[in-house]
Structure 1
């Protein structure tokens, strides 16, 4: 069977609104992306995950789509989109489009028709229930706060929206609607894209009357139909966002025998600094043992059955160097350490724009600094139920999606080189020190460390195929694991914190990559790890046993 190209690939997510502005209107756009392809090629990535550029009124920054076949004018034109696809292809880079099909915008023509009358042909493209104004059908809540039901005056019924009220949920039980989705997906496939990232795809099987949001009984049936009708016989890459995935159902999505998706985003590791059973705003200190177990569990569960997605960041998550690293005195070291932990594991790594230069969370000072609908709603709700301003701001500064959405920091010039106009949201004031231009000048920068990690994945089959074994699972400071393939063993050792640590393993290792200077061959017994020290070693001797290399 031919090897899947995406197993050796590294994906770079672009949030187009904040990446690069090509026309000076303060909003990132397609031509801005085109102007930076040289930078992405230099980094070495293979795939761009492009967050939505479709037509949208921007109630949720493009994840509320009003036209699946058009490009939002703020981002450019369809001709420019076609040019981007061609130019990426010339650079050896594929475009993975963001597929948002759990819901549309309420300004999509389907919904505009659906709300006109109960007998409209498009009515059942969406989910409607009877109810009096002020009395929703049930207590389902929106992920953005408040009821998941919105009353529609036109017909006196409620429609379902698990996200913003301007994002009505599609009814996947409707075959005609599904056929429209297949038609749209094939339109983009025919245009030459390299795959799809599927937004909240585990919600499409919802059964609202039973309170089922994720992992509904027909979910996998819909995904198998999608596979048959669109990408199944194409050489594409597909990844589904699945907040509700667990070990039991998580492996079903990417089992090649089931013909669904290539991989999913599951978020167990990203919930380890959240109070169990609470909202993401309810913070607790990270416990490294719990984080290690979350990663190891998925590494083992998908071994030989499916494929992992490896990520720290996205447009929905805060900056990892601020979250679990040290964005002050050890910003460079901790950013490299976090990259080492992730890229050394089995799966396809994802880099979010700015991660490769160590961009940090924004220094928010008050609610007026926040733009994201989720953050603003949370502030209002928690104020009403008695949370203090200090408590609310602590949670927002730690977890708000706005942290990831500040403009990409290209240089130390006005507006960080993102735009010649007024940016749509605030630029992080540390751009004069943290920017791509400075990173490219420094051969020891975070950028070049990511470049080396990406090169290793292309050159070393052990990173693709090697088994994973978690070491010292009870250690509260060191994250270490072994990868093994065809007689070769690679040891990954990372001090996850800003204080010295000890690590002990019998034998010697040749340094493949490290974020501190050290001898090319290292004795691994009783190692003294410096703050946030990380290294990948090829084992050349384990105890008294010489490792037999097989290339």
Structure 2
């Protein structure tokens, strides 16, 4: 098997770390995280092993949707710093071997954006067609994305004398991508941030961006919305050479394949695997690896120029919308039995450690799994230390609490009075008194140290980001055993979803005749018997990463 040149496909073996500048580190003491604070914590992220930072929106905003309601796509919110601070963060990150991608939120703007203010002023405004207007809302509408806040996708605007479309909140009017000028504006936004040194974009709400059903004038609809997505991928490639589009596409598998561009692989570079994530939690609830296994096997094939992004937690609700109603209730019962833990009837507002009752065996097994699945791992800030949520905060804000740096005031996040914090801290057993970076950096047995070890081994085993995936059949339904092969290199990964110890049968069929195995964590060498078999011990909630050494090759690590 020929090994592909990896020079421009850095994202295949990246470690992506998502953070909100507002909640990461406050350097000027005003209660809000800032770019200066982020710059002072880049060494920590480099030490952790992060290779790519994903920054949530830092643009000017009225802040009615945690920064996703944007008033200037080219700006930096003054509370967080200015362009000079942003460029300094990019420079320092690059010096530490880290790239930066930023949120591209162009499905909508804030209703305070100058474009929308001009659009609503007159039907003859040159900005009118930047948005989607109707004299009457359509009789058939999609279900609101946020059913607790909105009952319709259309909002009457008294000044404009028409209804405007908003798939999300009413303060976020949808942009009209059928308008050529709007598409040109989006390209300029992309080009601007690429010139400032970013390596790509996490593209928000991609299916909604391409949806043009609300446009009244059918002649102006895009003949093929996916052609537009291909043009964005091509534009990023021309401007940067190796920039990426990491898309939020929570759709069934056949639709996800479309957003990759099918066999051509010329649309989104990467997609989050929402289906695998949701089935991971079903597997955890059932102590049965089969739902996750089936989800992984259902991934569509395609071009080598695409990649899945794996995650345990993100910044939104932990959506379970692709599970059946009965499956969703199983997960709710296991990990969110209280109504306040659930949101929108479809998801949870909790982080992993509290859901697993702080059990270090299960927590470590899940993160071992994250870094060993085929694809690129994505961490949400604080996962590396086991942060929890604050259920007193509304909705998705519950998991967006400030980073916990030490056990002192405000967890070391800010010197401001607690009442001035942008978001309240996590409290209780997962608060900064018990969970923080400073304590864990001094503890070789901490979760932080464990995640650093996972990242080191992940970075040393290119098969994990690049390899061909195959499942190794097991008699124990609690065990996920899989193999990843890249060129002449191969690893076998074992994970036990149950509390009982077991043995995992391995045969020469799975690892090639005459081979032996070495454990990447312990260095233990395991040889196959003369008949080409081995029984690998696996603890309850255990995990093992095993390097496959062909016959005659010496174990090197």
Rounded Cα–Cα distance in structure 2 between residues aligned with 1:326 and 1:484: 32
Query: TM-score, normalised on structure 1?
Result: 0.82
Match of 1:206 among 193, 202, 211: 211
Structure 1 spans left out of the alignment, 5+ residues: 276-282, 376-400
CA contact 1:409–1:418 (8 Å) conserved in 2: yes
- Call closer, same or farther: CA 1:273–1:536 in 2, change over 3 Å: closer
CA contact 1:498–1:531 (8 Å) conserved in 2: yes
CA contact 1:254–1:261 (8 Å) conserved in 2: yes
**Superposition pairs of residues 3-152 of structure 1, within 5 angstroms:** 3-131=8-136, 137-145=139-147, 146-152=151-157
CA contact 2:263–2:303 (8 Å) conserved in 1: no
TM-superposed CA distance for 1:463, in Å, is: 2.3
CA contact 2:110–2:172 (8 Å) conserved in 1: yes
**Superposition pairs of residues 78-477 of structure 1, within 5 angstroms:** 78-131=83-136, 137-145=139-147, 146-209=151-214, 218-234=224-240, 235-244=242-251, 246-247=253-254, 249-250=256-257, 252-253=259-260, 257-272=264-279, 288-298=289-299, 301-302=301-302, 304=304, 306-316=306-316, 317=318, 318=349, 321-322=352-353, 326-328=356-358, 330-331=359-360, 333-362=361-390, 364=391, 369-371=392-394, 375=395, 401-421=396-416, 422=418, 423-429=421-427, 430=430, 431-472=432-473, 475-477=476-478
Query: TM-score, normalised on structure 2?
Result: 0.81
CA contact 1:346–1:465 (8 Å) conserved in 2: yes
CA contact 2:474–2:504 (8 Å) conserved in 1: no
Q: Which range moves more in the overlay, 175-184 or 449-458?
A: 449-458
Rounded Cα–Cα distance in structure 1 between residues aligned with 2:281 and 2:14: 31
Structure 2 spans left out of the alignment, 5+ residues: 217-221, 319-348, 509-515
- Call closer, same or farther: CA 1:274–1:505 in 2, change over 3 Å: closer
Residues 378-434 of structure 1: CA distance to partner in whole angstroms, max 9, x if unpaired? xxxxxxxxxxxxxxxxxxxxxxx2342111111111111111112222212222121
TM-superposed CA distance for 1:223, in Å, is: 1.1
- Call closer, same or farther: CA 1:82–1:208 in 2, change over 3 Å: same
3-state secondary structure, aligned to 1:327? coil
3-state secondary structure, aligned to 1:432? coil
- Call closer, same or farther: CA 1:274–1:468 in 2, change over 3 Å: closer
Rounded Cα–Cα distance in structure 1 between residues aligned with 2:527 and 2:424: 45
Rounded Cα–Cα distance in structure 2 between residues aligned with 1:54 and 1:203: 21
- Call closer, same or farther: CA 1:286–1:501 in 2, change over 3 Å: closer
CA contact 1:85–1:94 (8 Å) conserved in 2: yes
- Call closer, same or farther: CA 1:248–1:57 in 2, change over 3 Å: closer
Residues 64-110 of structure 1: CA distance to partner in whole angstroms, max 9, x if unpaired? 11111111122112221121111112212111011101111111111
Rounded Cα–Cα distance in structure 2 between residues aligned with 1:460 and 1:528: 22
3-state secondary structure, aligned to 2:25? coil
TM-superposed CA distance for 1:3, in Å, is: 4.2
- Could you say what the CA RMSD is over the residues aligned between the two structures, in angstroms? 2.9
CA contact 1:66–1:105 (8 Å) conserved in 2: yes
